[in-house]
Structure 1
Amino acid sequence: MGENIPYITTRTNKSGSLRYYWQRSGHKIVRLPSDPIDRANLAIRLNNAADQKVEINLAWAEDTLGWVIAKYKNSADYKALAKGTLKYYKRFLNDILELGGEMPFDEISRADVIDFVESYPKDSQRKHCSAVLRNLFNEAMYRGCASHNLASNLRLAEMGSRTQIWQQEDIDSWKKAAKKHEKADALILAFDMLLYTAQRPIDVLASKWSQYTDDNIILVRQQKTKTLVGLPAHRDLKKALEIARDKRTSETIVSNKNRQMSYSVFRKAFVQICAMAGIRDLQPRDLRRTAVVRLGQAGCTIPQIASVSGHTIDTTTQILEKYLPRRVELAMAAIQNLENAEDSKKLATLTPEPK
């Protein structure tokens, strides 16, 4: 039943079970029921709605990340949380959902969990985030879509702030290796957006073409801070965006099979490319810090850098204080700027005013 209905695809989970999905270009992937009659009926409804360009209000597909979060929010344990605790639980659950609500929960790896927790700069944030994830995995285990709690036994005390910076040779090596990957175009575009916008991977992957204006400004609403930043595209990024826009197949700038690339898919491919390039101890989120340092090395002021990255002035100052080396080249450039300003002032003094 349903073999001749278009847009039905299958996947095999880690336990070897076959799952059915409705996957059509330009639409959110939908998990289909195991029952063949129910599966066929839902697929037909979805195709008819897509043909008529109308939306069907469906809940998250069973066993997806969004589905587990919804189940957890409706649980007695969640409803029993204190008001103050509930506030930060909502925040972290919203952040977790940004990884991709349609992603099957069992596709989340231990590495994904560690990387996500480490993305928070403060010890208290990492502690709270890990607690939320542990409870979420408990819910998933209860629902039968996870076999282990991958958020347990995290070494939070050893998680310090990352200090890694991408050097130019690392960037060149990564891009060279990325050209051999099956998702080369999307991954290199995502890399350039991270490098030139100083934004978080989650925000870059969620960026839509509607946020890229005619005057080459990228509008980004940061998920964690809710800050709206407008970023002029660097000339190299502008060229890449123009090429990608001509070939676009989805609403999001970075796409995977005609839909938004989830963080899990992006990170997995990113790690594969790092291995191909022989790059160790560098991650996608390190590009945000790298972008800030590169702007500082280019002589940008702290307010200018903060307007790009969306950091506060204090945070931007701390990043530059910690990571921007005291190089002779920067000192020479500073003195040269001072001398040029003094020469311009002298010239203005010597030049007679027109009568």
Structure 2
Amino acid sequence: MPSVKLELGKFVTLRPRADGTHRVLFEVPPRLRPSGWSATIPLPIKEPRAGNLADADEVRRIQQDAKALYEKLQRERRGIVKEPDRSMKVLVRAWQASDEWKVLKPASVQSYKAYIRNVLALSEAAGHPDPTHLSVVDVKAFLSFFNDKPTTKKHTLKVLRILMNYAIGLGWRTDNPCATVKVKVPTAKALIWEQSDVDAYVAAAKKRGRPSIAVMILMLWEIGQRVTDARSFRAGAEYRDGVFKFAQSKTGAEVEIRVSDALREMLDEQGDGQMFVFRDESTGKAYTAERLVRVFEPIRDDVVAAGGRALKMKWLRHSCVVQLARHDATIPEIASITGHTLASVHNILSHYLPRDTKVAENAQRKRGIVNS
């Protein structure tokens, strides 16, 4: 067994059991122990159980803990009692103070902050483990809390992967335990809003005393922008006199679009004397992402109860692309309104438009086979 012992680390000893497992101990000779150092420390530290040395994951945890203990021993023998402050919270703070964080777009910052909260909450539940010793097994166990929320799980993994890369940059570790971890998210196809859907949701929003939601739905239906951008539109800045002019948060694409006279009248009334065009009637402030979801849900419930379809507000962006194509707009024309890339417009239409009978009817009308 000496070869296994050497692989596990310095001062690691094994005590065989009759069932073939081992007690794995970190034991420092008395002459080398600093004052107060325990004579025997079971390994792995956080999961003291029978040592199955055929289990590669358990061996890896033993090796990591043995290495950490040996480094701590060396520091204490040199009189350096306090360990470096390495926690997920410290790592997050370092990342948020970095140039990498400062150049992020506001929408990305808000998105990352939501998933950082997940990382910190789970870190706290685990007793604030040192991210230096985080393993692939730890990452998978960490993410298992979100098995019922695959999209949240995917984005939390993304943030954790960035944090571990930053830890490498700080010299805390040499590898990224998230590098080989993958999360599959079932592809959910968006439903395309029709004019009847828009009418139903607008009426339900007004009935609920939410004219801001009614106007936002109409605006998204006409110009197909991201809900994230719409929430932050300011009267007199991004919107003025029936024209939206702004740089999209995700792509940076400059967009300038005129809306219908009917919508302009509603927008001017909605934004009159207010900083934000779309403001929460309850707070007078711009909608947060979470607040918008909570306000929209009862409106959707009302529509569904009346026999309508359960739709998401973010699907209005794809729907606008489809509606523009139905009305003979070219891909460049569509992209100039919605701010998509040409490839994105093509991809949306390839998914949603070919099976649309209205497109076939448009084509036949263009050929002169059928009349308008």
TM bucket by the smaller chain?
0.5 to 0.7
Query: Identity over aligned residues, as a percent?
Result: 24
> TM-score, structure 2 length as denominator?
0.51
Q: For residue 90 of structure 1, report the CA deviation from its aligned partner.
A: 6.9
In the other structure, the counterpart of 1:216 is 242
1:302 aligns with 2:315: no
What CA deviation, in whole Å up to 9, does each residue of 1:61-103 have, x standing for no partner?
xxxxxxxxxxxxx94313676xxx99589748852527999xx
1:231–1:308 contact (8 Å) kept in structure 2: yes
| Equivalent position to 1:76, from 51, 66, 90 | 90
Amino acid at match of 1:181: R
Q: Where do 1:155-194 residues align within 5 Å?
A: 156-182=183-209, 184-194=210-220
In the other structure, the counterpart of 1:250 is 274
1:127–1:156 contact (8 Å) kept in structure 2: yes
Q: Which has the higher contact order (CA 8 A, sep 6+)?
A: 1
* Counterpart-to-counterpart distance in 1, 2:154 and 2:312: 21
Q: For residue 158 of structure 1, report the CA deviation from its aligned partner.
A: 3.1
Specify every segment of 5 or more residues in structure 1 that has no aligned partner in the other structure, as ranges.
1-73, 106-112, 120-125, 137-154, 341-355
Q: What SS class does the counterpart of residue 219 from structure 1 fall into?
A: strand
1:249–1:258 contact (8 Å) kept in structure 2: no
After superposing on structure 2, the runs of 4+ consecutive aligned residues of structure 1 that deviate more than 6 Å are 98-101, 133-136
Q: How much is the aligned-residue C-alpha RMSD, in angstroms?
A: 4.1
* Counterpart-to-counterpart distance in 2, 1:277 and 1:336: 34
1:98–1:202 contact (8 Å) kept in structure 2: no
Specify every segment of 5 or more residues in structure 2 that has no aligned partner in the other structure, as ranges.
1-87, 119-145, 164-181
In the other structure, the counterpart of 2:50 is none
| Equivalent position to 1:95, from 90, 101, 108 | 108
Q: For residue 181 of structure 1, report the CA deviation from its aligned partner.
A: 1.5
* Counterpart-to-counterpart distance in 2, 1:89 and 1:207: 22
> TM-score, structure 1 length as denominator?
0.54
Structure with bigger gyration radius: 2
1:221–1:228 contact (8 Å) kept in structure 2: yes
* Counterpart-to-counterpart distance in 2, 1:188 and 1:134: 39
1:199 aligns with 2:239: no
In the other structure, the counterpart of 1:311 is 340
> Residues 220 and 159 (structure 1 numbering): CA distance in 2 closer, same or farther, change over 3 Å?
farther
* Counterpart-to-counterpart distance in 2, 1:98 and 1:250: 26
* Counterpart-to-counterpart distance in 1, 2:218 and 2:310: 19
> Residues 271 and 330 (structure 1 numbering): CA distance in 2 closer, same or farther, change over 3 Å?
same
